[in-house]
Structure 1
Amino acid sequence: MAEIRIRNTNERIQGDVNVGAFLSGQSVIYEQWDISKLPAHLQGKFVLSDEEKSEILSTYDTEIRDLALRRGYQTWDVITLSEATPNLDELLKKFEDVHTHTEDEIRAIIAGRGIFIIKGSDDVGYFDVELEPGDIISVPENTPHFFTLMDNRKIVAVRLFVETNGWVAYPFADPTFQKA
């Protein structure tokens, strides 16, 4: 279950209903998938073959196609990050710059934990959305944000794209942003 931390007040928002209501108020889509559908041999596995990634996509095919139909996604994949990922620190450093995209950035967390840092409305400012397996989040296009890993530094996630070549990140310089 996702948890939110509002950075300028350190307020925490918990519980599916509260998290969903807050994110909806910030135009961020939040849903959940049944993570128990994932075959046991893939649960908690962070180094995946192409066949295992295909199995994840097949397991959640109905959910993926539902999102694609509702939101116009054309393609999807599975991303895995862990200590086994070559150049993980350099890759995370690239992720941790505030940026925007011309399409939604969506993640469906299958294993591990990740965090989106999102610029909310003027009265909220930046907030963190801590995600766990089963959480799905879609950050709207042109919304300043970035994604990184939690302390465990492991994640498996489904990503969906409108553009078949994936997202292009546009740097967003914001003097009000402070790394936590």
Structure 2
Amino acid sequence: MRAYYFDNIPGDQRLAHDSGKPVSEEHLRELGVLFWTIPVDSPDGWEPAINAVAKERSYKNRDTINVTKEGLGDLYESKLKTFFEEHMHEDEEIRYILSGAGFFDVRELPTDAWIRIHVLPGDLLVVPPGIYHRFTLDELNAIKALRLFKEEPKWTPHVRGPATEENPFRVDYVKSVAVA
């Protein structure tokens, strides 16, 4: 995982858009974004480590998503467009990268700057409820990820706007970052 400020230069969203200004894991933690590295090719396999994190954090459900043209078929372009629209969720978004790569962009408070997080195989990322974020593939145009959930999956993205600013999960998130 590598994190840095997004350069905001127009162009293909799948390019690095690296401003040259790195962001530390400590700063991500201050924003509620958590990260682990669990090698996919670990001699004991990755499942025991993922199971331990799932138990510790009360993740009860999981599935796998394959974001490729082949995996999503006719929905590929529309899904990528939806994933890249700025939104928040009322649940954590947990992804363990099995193959491929992509970018999670999260909004920094209080600056509202985008922080780009490049995820690669073996990266486990937790995006907190209430944080504005978006996702896109990188130039590999493919990612396979294990998704973990505390309860049944909730897929409702709340697009940024006045109503979302008043969403209790957004309000709680903003308060939690202001305290940190």
The TM-score bracket by the shorter chain reads 0.7 to 0.9
* Shift, 1:74, TM fit: 1.5
Deviation >3 Å, runs of 4+: none
Q: Which amino acid aligns with 1:11?
A: G
**Of 63-72 and 131-140, the range deviating more from structure 2:** 63-72
| 2:150 counterpart (156, 162, 170) | 162
- Give 1:27 shift: 1.6
Residue 178 of structure 2 corresponds to none
Aligned counterpart in structure 1 of residue 77 of structure 2, from 79, 89, 98: 89
| Contact persistence 1:161–1:167 (CA under 8 A) | no
Distance 1:130 1:173 in 2: 26
Deviation track 1:101-128 (CA, whole Å, cap 9, x = no partner) reads: 1111011111110110101121462111
Q: Which moved more, 1:159-168 or 1:86-95?
A: 159-168
Aligned to 1:7: 6
Unpaired runs of 5+ in structure 1? 40-58, 175-180
Q: Of 32, 39, 48, which residue of structure 1 is paired with 2:37?
A: 32
Cα distance in 1 for partners of 2:156, 2:56 equals 22
| Uncovered stretches (5+) of structure 2, i.e. residues with no partner | 9-18, 163-180
Seq. identity, %: 24
Amino acid corresponding to residue 132 of structure 1 in structure 2? L
Equivalent AA in structure 2 for residue 102 of structure 1: E
Q: 1:109 to 1:38 in 2, by over 3 A?
A: farther
Shift of 1:34: 1.4
For 1:38 and 1:155, locate their aligned partners in 2 and report how far apart those are by CA, in whole Å: 22
CA contact (8 A) 1:108 1:159 kept: yes
CA deviation after TM superposition for structure 1 residue 80, in Å: 0.8
Whether contact under 8 Å (2:91, 2:154) holds in the other structure is: no
Q: RMSD in angstroms over aligned alpha carbons?
A: 2.3
Q: CA deviation digits over 1:144-172, x for unaligned, max 9?
A: 11111111110111110122133321111
